[in-house]
Amino acid sequence: MTNRLKEMGETASWRLMVSAAIEGVKKAGYAAKRQPGRGLSNTWELTKDGVSKVASVRTTRDRYIAFPPLDGGKRWKTLDTVDLVLVSAVDDPANPQNVDVYLLPADDVRKRFDASYAARTENGHTVRDNFGMWIMLDQGDDTIVGQVGHSLAVDYPTIARFSIDELEGQIAPATEQAVEEATTVSDIEADEAQETPAFTTVGEVLTFARAEIARLSGMSSDAIKLDLKIEA
């Protein structure tokens, strides 16, 4: 089994998924225009029936989305300045064949990120400011700390679905050009809120690894022990 998006490479697959998001809102009756002057933020103005709203675009190949907390979870980078969150997600992380597009109210997304942040910190997890914190789109289990805030994709059905074949062969040239102009290859991680801290010691790397394993497993990072072996 092969992962077609992984085979495309990071840049091509990311642009394909952003293009899917923009095509999706257009099919839903919105006009879409990228907001200038937002730095690395991938934000678009969406207009329908004369009403304009600002949307942050998020792509996900594991059906989790991320935003970075600020000020100890009191604020959320990018999320606090938009009205909508436009998500482009694969249908199957292991063997993607389609890309699903969701349009989510930012207020509800913020509530779920707040709940996830509170659950993690109350259970001893380390959540770093200005580093992406993830919540799952699909239905999860509230008793698992790393899954609190789940089910956005359950409560808000897709507004569009595209096969990967369709996206590769039929993306409108104007959409593809707008996405390419929106970002460069080096912008991808920052735009997707997965800003990796600059590590200066092996201990910091191990701490980060434990936090990531805790996120995936729903366990406290204090319960995770890692052994490091370096062979000359």
**pTM, full prediction:** 0.78
- Per-residue model confidence (pLDDT) at position 100: 97
For the chain, the straight-line distance linking the first and the last C-alpha, in angstroms and rounded, comes to 35
Query: What six digits make up the tokens of 20?
Result: 């899917």
Q: How far apart are CA 54 and CA 49, in angstroms?
A: 15
- Per-residue model confidence (pLDDT) at position 161: 97
Q: Are 30 and 45 in contact (CB under 8 A)?
A: no
Residue whose tokens read 């239905």 = 139
> What average pLDDT does range 189-218 have in this prediction?
58
Query: What six digits make up the tokens of 194?
Result: 């997965």
Which of 14 and 103 is assigned the larger pLDDT? 103
Q: Are 188 and 11 in contact (CB under 8 A)?
A: yes
pLDDT at 171 over 90: no
Q: How far apart are CA 40 and CA 25, in angstroms?
A: 21
pLDDT at 17 over 80: yes
Query: What six digits make up the tokens of 1?
Result: 């089994």
Query: What six digits make up the tokens of 81?
Result: 């300045």
Q: List, for residues 45-80, the tens digit of each pLDDT value.
A: 999 999 999 999 999 998 999 999 999 999 999 999
Share of the chain above pLDDT 90, in %: 50
CB atoms within 10 A of CB 67: 23
Indicate the range of 63-67, 100-104, 118-122, 172-176 predicted with least confidence.
172-176
pLDDT at 230 over 60: yes
Q: Are 175 and 33 in contact (CB under 8 A)?
A: no
- Per-residue model confidence (pLDDT) at position 213: 73
> What average pLDDT does range 180-190 have in this prediction?
45
Indicate the range of 81-90, 99-108, 162-171, 174-183 predicted with least confidence.
174-183
> What average pLDDT does range 108-113 have in this prediction?
98
How many CA atoms lie less than 13 Å away from 113 in the CB half-sphere?
27
Q: Which of helix, strand or coil describes residue 88?
A: strand
Q: How far apart are CA 125 and CA 143, in angstroms?
A: 15
